Amino acid sequence: MIELQTVVPFFADKAERLQEILDRYPPEGRRSALMPLLWEVQNAERHVSEARMHEIAEIIGITATEVKGVMSFYSTYHEHPVGTYHLQVCSTLSCALAGADEMVAYLEDELGIVNGERDREGRFSIQRVECLGSCGTAPVLQVNDTYYERVSRSRCVHLVEALRRGEMPTPWRERGGDTEGQEKARPFTVQQWSDAAAEGQGEPS
Amino acid sequence: MYRYMGVEGAHTLDFYRSHGGYDAARKALLEMTPAQVVDEVKASGLRGRGGAGFPTGVKWSFMPPVDARPRYLVCNADESEPGSFKDRYVLEDDPHQLIEGMLIAARAMSSTHGFIYIRGEYYLGYTRTVAAVQEARAAGLLGTDILGSGMSFDITVHRGAGAYICGEETALMNSLEGLRANPRLKPPFPAGAGMYGQPTTINNVTSLTSAVHIINKGAAWFASMGTDDSKGTKLYQISGPVKRTGVYEMPMGATFRELIYDFAGGPTMTPKAFIPGGSSTPMFPWRDEFLDMPMDYGTLAKNGSMLGTGGVIVIPQEKCIVDALYNLVRFYAHESCGKCTPCREGVAHWLPRLYQKLLAGLGTIDDVNLIQELANNIRGTAFCPLADACVMPVQASLKWFRDEYDYLAEHGVSRYPKSDWWQA
């Protein structure tokens, strides 16, 4: 409980932002602000601590237990800090057919941590997640909030190397289907990776 | 609907407007009465694109007469059915189309406020939709007295946090209200008492974007496409081992063969089955009679499956069907909300464990029978459709591929051992 008294409230210096979030919902729906407030804290601190739950509960006028009840219902809120790069691998059917299990095995081997863990330096953490809605461009690896689609073995190797250097490559966008324009469907080859990198589209060289 | 996917800059207001954007909203707001909009959508034969296929115009007409209460419109963009990814593309590449669709729906139902519930993982879609709403507000397309029509309507974009159950409309409302996303008992239906107890209508993303084109080109144009019970076009999605996976907009009633071979270029591995419309729809074996079925609501229902979200997944011969089903069962076990007994005990506990036992080589024929029995008993007994969504594919897999289950139970190893398909 000592912690709860000494921590500086998260929203102490963010009154404007707090008001903006509360104003999004009608007066009778003050509780609706719960999820956005949790996001706000987690985006800044990479997890939501007990102290923050108490703070949010007080803002909304519910108990901290209710806050925790809601938070634990969803899979993207974390009670413990995740790594600087939180690697989320979709493991549902379409991605599994495209090698998601192998990708997880590779990442676990390479980073020395297993599903649900964070490494000692706090750089990487791995989470197997369910369908990310990227079945057409499987397998997908979500790093923090960014989707990396059609992550082949070579792309995965490059991606991990880049993250180790502290770089988040700009994600390549592929739409597939009858998409027109730049993101027109094209079968993926490793050649394209280097072509795209040469064009300065952000892939690691 | 899918014209501008992947086109650079298509998510901006300038682009959308210069391509005829918001013409339909202008028409609906200035030239049509709410009743006319509802009638137009009713006449078009549009059915909900989220999975259940309920006629959209009829749903809109369920809203009670206007009184002093607020009236809410909610867009369900919590797309999390495995095999579906159409809504993500709309949110990322064409959010103004969705806003226009919501304006039309709001006109039809005299809604006072709208919510777009976007699943937490779609961060890019979320940021682009938020930006689009701000653009629209600045341009006077949202707010008070829109386009001089006297109508007031604004939209709040709400970010979910990763729970499949939020796709169920009453669970979605609970989630939006800041509660755990357990489904609610119906009745009362949302039109009577929904968000905060007020009249509410919930529509899928592509139901709303379809309305844009119905208003633009007329109900007759929309109804001229498709089959008797399914009108217009739909965004079909295809994934699994085919040449060109992705989203294809096709008239309803196109066949699976057309989608898989003509559009997606055919399978890249020998196929043995396909899932017709997202993971919760029962699968079909790879036979001509099923491949030539039109993809519409009625035909699939008659054949013991569902159109669902239109997300086709091709399953290759080399994939052990028990393993494939375990993957899906694990998904539903993870997403079960724990509210009712059949789902909490059956789907979240017994089914995945029985599959694990089989796959570990410790199962017997009795376990296969038990899976069958459990599935039969869970079906139709749960509080919400999630449990059915899990056991119907299980039943279908047992119906068509029982031999693979038996082989695994007898030999302790799968007939198709796992192989590495991760692309180099």
All domains in chain B, ordered by first residue = 13-223 (3.40.50.11540), 233-316 (3.10.20.600), 321-411 (1.20.1440.230)
Q: Spell out which residues of chain B touch residue A32, defining contact as CB-CB under 8 Å.
A: 158, 176-178
- With a cut of 90, say whether residue B311 has pLDDT above it: yes
Query: Average pLDDT of B67-90?
Result: 95
Q: Which residue has the tokens 């949790």?
A: A38
CATH class of the domain defined by A2-73: mainly alpha
Q: Tell me what pLDDT residue B9 has.
A: 85
Residue type at B238? I
ipTM of the shown complex: 0.93
Q: Which of B228, B211, B209, B389 is nearest to B294 (CA)?
A: B228
β-pairing verdict for B284-285 and B271-275: antiparallel
Q: Tell me what pLDDT residue B260 has.
A: 95
Residue type at B380? G
CATH class of the domain defined by A85-166: alpha beta
B177 interfaces chain A, CB cutoff of 8 Å? yes
A181 band by pLDDT with thresholds 50, 70 and 90: very low
Q: Which of A182, A87, A199, A183 is nearest to A136 (CA)?
A: A183
- With a cut of 50, say whether residue A133 has pLDDT above it: yes
Q: How far is A33 from chain B (nearest CA, A)?
A: 7
- With a cut of 80, say whether residue A80 has pLDDT above it: yes
Name residue B285's beta-bridge partners.
B273
A107 band by pLDDT with thresholds 50, 70 and 90: very high
Q: Tell me what pLDDT residue B400 has.
A: 97
Query: Average pLDDT of A75-85?
Result: 94
Q: Tell me what pLDDT residue A176 has.
A: 64
Q: Tell me what pLDDT residue A52 has.
A: 95
pTM as predicted: 0.93
Q: Domain-by-domain residue ranges, chain A?
A: 2-73, 85-166
* Cβ–Cβ gap A136/B2 under 8 Å: no
In the sheet with A141-143, reading across from the earlier edge strand, the strands are A124-129, A85-90, A141-143, A146-148
A34 interfaces chain B, CB cutoff of 8 Å? yes
Taking only the tens place, the pLDDT of each residue in A17-73 is: 999 999 999 998 999 999 999 999 999 999 999 999 999 999 999 999 999 999 999
- Minimal-distance CA residue of chain A relative to B313: A94
Q: What is the CA radius of gyration of chain A?
A: 20
B39 band by pLDDT with thresholds 50, 70 and 90: very high
* Cβ–Cβ gap B158/A74 under 8 Å: no
- The SS3 of residue A184 is coil
Is the preceding peptide bond at B188 cis, omega within 30 degrees of 0? yes
A174 band by pLDDT with thresholds 50, 70 and 90: confident
A61 interfaces chain B, CB cutoff of 8 Å? no
Asked whether the beta carbons of A36 and A24 are under 8 A apart, the reply is yes
Mean pLDDT of chain A: 85
**Interhelix angle A153-164/A190-198, nearest 10 degrees:** 40
Residue bearing the bigger pLDDT, B45 or B7: B45
d(CA A146, CA A173): 11
DSSP of B323-375: HHHHHHHHHHHHH--S-SHIIIIIIIIIHHHHHHHHHTT---HHHHHHHHHHH
Q: Cα-flanking dihedrals φ and ψ of residue B112, to 5°? A: -100, -25
